[in-house]
Amino acid sequence: MKKTSFILGTIILALINFLVRSLGFVYRIILSRIIGPQAIGLYQMVFPFLMVLIAIPTAGIPIAVSKLVARENSLGNRRGIYKTLSIAILLGGILSLILTVVVSLKLDYITISILKNQQLFYPLLWSIPAIALITFSSILRGYFYGMTDIKPAAAAQIVEQIARISFVLLYLYIKKPNHPVTAATIAIIGVSIGELFGLLYLVLKFNFKKVFSRSIVYKALNQSSYKVLGSILYISVPITISRLISTLMQSINSIIIPQRLQVAGYTAGQALEVFGKISGMAMPLLFLPFTVTSALVVNIIPSISEQMAVNNLHDVENKVSLALKLTMLTAIPTTFLFILFGDHLAGLIYKQKDVGSYLAIISYATIFLCLNHTLSGILHGMGKQVITTLNFILGMTIQLYCTYFLIPNPKYGINGFFMGYVISAVFIFILNAITLRRHIKVRLKLMDSLIKPLLATALMALGMLLVYRLSAYIIDSKGISTIVAMMVGGILYFLGLIFTKTIDLKHAIGAIKG
């Protein structure tokens, strides 16, 4: 199994994430135009609830597997690697089975008393198979990440996305369902279809005989196995709590935002439409830079775990600084792109001008969301998952307060949600940065990580504006003009980083080769 260097692994995963998110983004655009805002709203009410369920077996266990497998691999303990994976699969299977049974028996109660919408019965029913599928896929991906063999896990994401998109769009094209509930149900079924194909791909890439031929299963109750289980739980429980709160907040928002908007004077249909535009249209754009930070997090956790196992703190400090710098180089231009051109992008993509207004406001949180994503991965790799979870809980408390109390106020309206979202992101960043600073030295130069990227971003924005106007005058197509302007802007930003020596190409190429 060939290892992949930290930088090369990050680049590969970033490209895969970009491809997967681009496919998902295009899919979401097409889906929203086919089934409409109300069906998207129903989908967005079920999907966060499904993510709450999935968070229990998948939020912390795959990260624990990645971290522990990396540690055992650095120590050359292959038996420890496979024992970790076996116990994780067993634990994930038990949790997913319990969740499947509970949800199946309590469907009516969940739709009526929790989600408070009887229309969600069938979408929720068809989301149940995804629980086990996502659980096993996530654990296997965690194993491959821990072994620094990212190609199977990355390819599985593409397989999953293609299968999901193909099924949903083909079905909608053939059957053309008119009812929002039916359309939302088909979109939910697509999640399970995609995960099934992704899991099958991972299984084909992994030889389970490696695990079960080592007599691990029937020795699972000995003392060392209890120790492995304890390590998995110690890592996974705080991370699971954090993810549960995050996904629970999505579910709470899917319930509270429409309800509080109605208190502010919106009709039920208007409130659902506003929520659908924010969560189903603006948010996917906001999370585009996570293509890079997700790749960083996936690579940084096992990498730091490996180096901590052999007490190589110097390498840990270097990788932490590099990860944060790469995050800044991604987040800064994206933040300003959304702030300056959010109205134009959303109007062009969705044909909904108010979506652009929502995006322009909420995008002030982009840079802090990206930094929080990377910082949490770093702290998890260092074994600081408990304090990271506490920081997150405090931030989410602020967001929930603003959502509940500010939205009904005519002075704020939906802007109350945006205020809470941005403030909580800034607050969590401050707490995570303080936590990291207490445990490790971060070698970040203000000039290279902030000032120079801002200058390159200014060059990018100016170039995009000029090229768009010129291209629109010549081509007379807003779509093509926007694509050309964004391509030129990306090139100018990269050249700006090279010109200001923010990026050293020779050093970067060497790091990629490992």
- Residue 422 pLDDT: 93
Contact status, residue 59 vs residue 262, Cβ threshold 8 Å:
no
Contact yes or no for 140/205 (Cβ under 8 A): no
pLDDT for residue 88: 92
φ, ψ at 107 (rounded to 5°): -60, -50
Determine the pLDDT at residue 220.
45
Max Cα separation, the chain?
Answer: 74
Q: How far is CA 349 from CA 291, 342, 483, 505, in A?
A: 20, 11, 12, 35
End-to-end Cα spacing for the chain: 16
CB distance 188 to 47 below 8 Å: yes
Instruction: Note whether 334 and 261 are within 8 A (CB).
Output: no
CA distances (Å), origin 440, targets 202, 304, 348: 36, 12, 45
4: left (phi over 0), alpha (psi -120 to 50) or beta: beta
Q: How far is CA 500 from the centre of its chain?
A: 31
SS3 letters for 350-419? HCCHHHHHHHHHHHHHHHHHHHHHHHHHHHHHCCCHHHHHHHHHHHHHHHHHHHHHHCCCCCCCCHHHHH
Structure confidence at residue 93 (pLDDT): 92
Taking the C-alpha atoms of residue 443 and residue 160, their distance in angstroms, rounded to an integer, is 38
Please tell me whether the overall predicted TM-score, pTM, comes out greater than 0.85 for this model: no
| The residue count for the chain | 514
Taking each helix axis from N to C end, the angle separating 313-350 and 6-58, rounded to the nearest 10 degrees, works out to 70
210 CB-side CA count, 13 A = 14
In DSSP notation, 68-123 reads HHHHHHHTT-HHHHHHHHHHHHHHHHHHHHHHHHHHHHTHHHIIIIIS--GGGHHH
Provide the pLDDT for residue 127: 87
> For residue 221, what pLDDT is reported?
45
Give CA–CA dist 235/386, Å, rounded.
9
Dihedral (Cα; 224, 226, 227, 228), 10-degree rounding: 90
| DSSP SS3 for 60 | coil
Question: What is the distance between the alpha carbons of residues 17 and 425, in angstroms, rounded to a whole number?
Answer: 23
- Determine contact, residues 88/64, Cβ cutoff 8 Å: yes
Residue 152: left if φ>0, alpha if ψ -120 to 50, beta else—which one? alpha
What 3-state class would DSSP assign to 129?
A: coil
Which residues, including other chains, have CB under 8 Å from residue 484's CB and lie 6 or more apart? 467, 468, 471, 475
Dihedral angle, C-alpha 205, 208, 209, 214, nearest 10 °: 130
Closest of 184, 231, 237 to residue 43, by C-alpha: 184
Amino acid at 326: L
Q: What is the pLDDT along the chain (514 residues), one digit of tens a residue?
A: 555 566 777 777 778 877 887 787 788 778 877 887 778 878 877 877 787 788 889 888 998 998 888 888 887 787 788 888 889 999 999 999 999 999 999 888 888 887 777 888 888 888 899 999 999 999 999 898 888 888 888 889 899 999 999 998 898 888 877 788 888 888 889 989 999 999 999 988 886 555 555 554 455 445 467 788 888 888 888 888 888 787 777 778 878 888 888 888 788 888 888 888 888 788 878 887 777 787 777 778 777 877 777 777 777 788 888 888 888 998 999 988 888 887 778 777 777 777 888 888 888 999 999 999 899 988 988 888 889 989 999 999 999 999 889 988 878 888 899 999 999 999 999 999 999 988 887 777 788 888 899 999 999 999 998 988 888 778 777 778 888 888 899 899 989 988 888 877 666 666 555 5
- pLDDT digits over 305-335, tens only? 777 777 777 777 888 888 888 889 989 999 8
Q: 138 to each of 250, 340, 479, how far by Cα in Å?
A: 21, 37, 37
